[in-house]
Structure 1
Amino acid sequence: MDADQPALIHLDSAQIGDPGNMRTWRENVARAVLGLDFRPLDDKPFRVQMAVVRAGAVTLSRSVTSPAESFRDQELVDPNSNSFTFAWPEGGALVARQRGQEAVLGAGDGILLSSDEFGSLAAPRGGRYVGVIIPRGMVEAHVTSADDLIMQSVRRNVKAMRLVQAYSRLITHHAADALPSTLALMGDHLAALIAMALGDVRSDAAGPNRLPERGARFDLVKNWIADNASDPALSLSAVARACGLSSRSIQMLFEERGQSYSSYLLEVRLERAYRLLTAAGAARDPLRVIDVALAVGFSDVSYFNRRFRSRFGETPTSARGGRGSPGSA
C-alpha cells in the first residue's frame, strides 16, 4: 500500500470489472496494488473480499475467498522487498508452498513465508484467512536466524498464536478511527507477537525487546474489558480465559502501570455512565440513574452513586443533563 492511501481499505473483486471475468481484478488490483495474483481452483465464479490495514511498517489483510490460490510469479517477486509474510486461516484450510515444501494449515495454524520468493497460498474450498507482511528487521529483532523459520508452522494451541489472532482482530477493529501513530505502535506489537509465536526467541528477549509483546497483551486485555464491561458478572478469571492469559499475568500487567484490574474496570464503567448522563438531549429526555447504572455494568445502585460522586464530585442525578433534581432517580 502507498503511504498516501488510507489506513484501511476494502476491496471486493465482484465490484471491479465483470464478476465473471477475473482479468480486471487481477491486472488492476491484485498485481498492480497487492503484488499478488490469483487463480480459481474450481469452475465457479471467483470472488475475494479483502480488508487491508496499514499499521506503520506492517500490512495486515483479512480475506474471504472462493476456492482459489494466491501466488507470486517471476514478475511479481521483488528481491528488494526484504519482508516476511505470516499467514493463517480463520475458517477453512490453507495449503502453503515455498522452497519446495508444502504445509497444510487448519483454522488457527500459522506459517511464515518469504515475501521476496516464489510461493503460494491455496484455499481449496475457499474460506477466511489473514496475511501479515512484516519487514524482516522487525522479526529479526526478536528471533535468531529468522530465515531458517520460513515454512515453519505454528499450531493453533500455542498461546502466542492465539494472542496473534486476537491482536490482529483488535487492529482491524480500530483501523478506521485510530491515529496513524497508534496503528504504527500496534503494528510493532503484532510483529513482536508473531516473532514470539515462531519460537526461537533470543535469550535477551526478557529485556527491552520483550516490551512490545507485553504492550500488545495489555492492549488486548484493556480492549476486551472495555468491550465487555457492561456485564455485571465480568470477572478477572473470565478476562484471563478470553485473552489466553493467567489471572496473575493480567494483574501484573496492570501493576506495572500502577493500576489494578478492578480500578480499570471501575473507571471504564464510570466514564460510560458519565457520558450517558451528560449526553446531548439527556436534559430533555433524562435517563433514570438506575437504568444507567445497570446499563454500564453496576448491579448495586448505592455503590454506583458513591463511586460516581467520589470520581466526578457530583451525584449522577446532578450530572444528568447538567441539572440537578434530587430524589428523581
Structure 2
Amino acid sequence: MTDLDNRIVEFSTDHIPEKDRTAFWREHYGQVMLRVDLEPARDAAFVARIASLALPGLQLMDASSSPAKISRSGRFLADGNDDIIVAINRTGSANIVSRGREQSLREGEAIVLSGGEAAAFHRTSMGRSFTLRLPRAMFEQTVVNLDDALMRPIPGDRGALRLLADYAGWLLNAGSAIDQQLRNVSIRHVQDLLALAVGPSADFADTARTRGLSAARLKLAKAYIVTHSHRRDTSIGTLAASLNVTPRYLQRLFESDGTTFSEYLMAQRLARAHRLLCESGASRTAISTIAYDVGFGDLSYFNRRFRRQYGLTPREVRGD
C-alpha cells in the first residue's frame, strides 16, 4: 500500500465516452492502484464511481458500479502484495470466488479476502460496496485465525460491522481535513472495529471493545451533534436512538472525554453563531435570528452563554 499524501482519489465514468470506459478504468485505476482486472457485463453500459483514500496502514474505498466482475489473478498476483481486504456489500448483490469456494453477499454483509490469493468479486446487479485494505501482519495480530476468517461471510446485523462501516465512511469523507494525530488514532479505531467485526483473539477482544467501539461511538455521536446542533429538538434521547444505545451510555462516553452531551452541544451552537457573526454581511441579520438559527430558544440565555464563552457580546464580535 502507498500513502498518497492522505488525499481522496476519485474516479467516475460520467464524462468518459461509453466505448472508452472499460479501457480507461483498467489502465488508470485497475492496473495502477488496485492491481485487478475488470470485465463489465455485456448487456449493460458500464458505469462506475470510486472514491479512495490511502493512509498509513489502511486504505479505504467507496465504490459503486453496474454489473461487472473484478478479479485478481495471474500477473497481478506476481506483485507479492498480500494485504487483507474486507469487502462490505452496501447495496445490490455480489458473488465472491476464492480458495475454491463461492459465497454470495447480501446487502450489509461483508467478507475477508487475501490479496495474495486469486479472487473474483462479481457484482451481479447495480450496487455499492465499501472496501478496507490493511497489511496482513497487522490483521494477524488481532484475529483468531486468518485461515478461518478468509471467505467467511460477516453477517450484516453484527453491530461491530455496522459501526465499522459508518466510522470508516466518516474517515474517508474527512480525508485530509483531520490532523495527523487524529488520523492516526482513527486508523487504530478502525483496526479495532475490524477485529471485533471479524472475530478478535481473546487477549485482544476487551481492548478492541473498549478502545474501538467506545471511541467510534463517541466520534459518531459528535458528528451527529455537529450536523444537528441547529435543531432545537436535538437531545441525548434522539442521539441515543440514532446510535441504538442508551442515553446513560452516551453520558458516560462524553464524561470519559471530559465533557457532557449538553456542554458539547452548547459549544457547537456557540461556535456556529460566532462563525455567522464574523461573516461579511452579518450586520444585516438580527442577533435574535442568528441565535434561533443555531438552535437557541431563548435570546437572553444565548447572550449570557456567548459572552461567557468568548468574553464579548455577540454585537461586539460583529463590530456593532
Q: Are residue 220 (structure 1) and residue 220 (structure 2) matched?
A: yes
Larger mean CA deviation between 59-68 and 297-306 belongs to 297-306
CA contact (8 A) 1:13 1:48 kept: yes
- Aligned pair in 2 of structure 1 residues 61, 231: CA closer, same or farther (>3 Å)? same
TM-score norm. by structure 2 comes to 0.91
Instruction: Please name the residue that 1:50 is paired with.
Output: 50
Work out the CA distance in 1 between the residues paired with 2:147 and 2:245: 29
Work out the CA distance in 1 between the residues paired with 2:132 and 2:58: 7
Instruction: Please name the residue that 2:136 is paired with.
Output: 136
- The residue type paired with residue 305 of structure 1 is N
Work out the CA distance in 2 between the residues paired with 1:125 and 1:224: 32
Instruction: Please name the residue that 2:234 is paired with.
Output: 234
- Aligned pair in 2 of structure 1 residues 210, 260: CA closer, same or farther (>3 Å)? same
3-state secondary structure, aligned to 1:46: coil
Work out the CA distance in 1 between the residues paired with 2:138 and 2:221: 23
CA contact (8 A) 1:30 1:37 kept: yes
Q: Are residue 111 (structure 1) and residue 134 (structure 2) matched?
A: no
Q: Percent of counterpart pairs with the same letter?
A: 28
Work out the CA distance in 2 between the residues paired with 1:78 and 1:160: 34
Larger mean CA deviation between 202-211 and 220-229 belongs to 202-211
CA contact (8 A) 2:50 2:61 kept: yes
Instruction: Please name the residue that 2:307 is paired with.
Output: 309
Matches within 5 A, 1:136-285: 136-207=136-207, 210-282=210-282, 285=283
CA RMSD of aligned residues (A): 2.2
CA contact (8 A) 2:160 2:213 kept: no
Work out the CA distance in 2 between the residues paired with 1:44 and 1:216: 39
**Which 5+ residue runs of structure 2 have no aligned equivalent?**
none
3-state secondary structure, aligned to 2:59: strand
CA contact (8 A) 2:4 2:54 kept: no
Work out the CA distance in 1 between the residues paired with 2:295 and 2:109: 36
Q: How far is the alpha carbon of 1:243 from its aligned partner?
A: 2.4
- Aligned pair in 2 of structure 1 residues 165, 322: CA closer, same or farther (>3 Å)? same
Matches within 5 A, 1:63-74: 63-74=63-74
Work out the CA distance in 2 between the residues paired with 1:241 and 1:123: 33
Work out the CA distance in 1 between the residues paired with 2:313 and 2:159: 44
1:149-188 per-residue CA deviation (whole Å, 9 max, x = no partner) reads 1112222221111101211221122115233554343232
Instruction: Please name the residue that 1:95 is paired with.
Output: 95
CA contact (8 A) 1:56 1:183 kept: no
1:121-173 per-residue CA deviation (whole Å, 9 max, x = no partner) reads 11111211111111123323332223321112222221111101211221122
1:26-45 per-residue CA deviation (whole Å, 9 max, x = no partner) reads 13431222211111123222
Work out the CA distance in 2 between the residues paired with 1:107 and 1:43: 23
3-state secondary structure, aligned to 2:130: strand
- Aligned pair in 2 of structure 1 residues 24, 166: CA closer, same or farther (>3 Å)? closer
Work out the CA distance in 1 between the residues paired with 2:142 and 2:261: 29
- Aligned pair in 2 of structure 1 residues 30, 200: CA closer, same or farther (>3 Å)? same
CA contact (8 A) 2:230 2:269 kept: yes
Instruction: Please name the residue that 1:326 is paired with.
Output: none
3-state secondary structure, aligned to 2:76: coil
Work out the CA distance in 1 between the residues paired with 2:13 and 2:35: 15
3-state secondary structure, aligned to 2:276: helix
Work out the CA distance in 1 between the residues paired with 2:4 and 2:165: 27
Work out the CA distance in 2 between the residues paired with 1:249 and 1:152: 32
Work out the CA distance in 1 between the residues paired with 2:313 and 2:5: 46
**Which 5+ residue runs of structure 1 have no aligned equivalent?**
324-329
Instruction: Please name the residue that 1:19 is paired with.
Output: 18
Q: How far is the alpha carbon of 1:71 from its aligned partner?
A: 1.0
Q: Are residue 8 (structure 1) and residue 8 (structure 2) matched?
A: yes
3-state secondary structure, aligned to 1:76: helix
Work out the CA distance in 2 between the residues paired with 1:224 and 1:201: 32
Work out the CA distance in 1 between the residues paired with 2:54 and 2:148: 27
- Aligned pair in 2 of structure 1 residues 78, 163: CA closer, same or farther (>3 Å)? farther
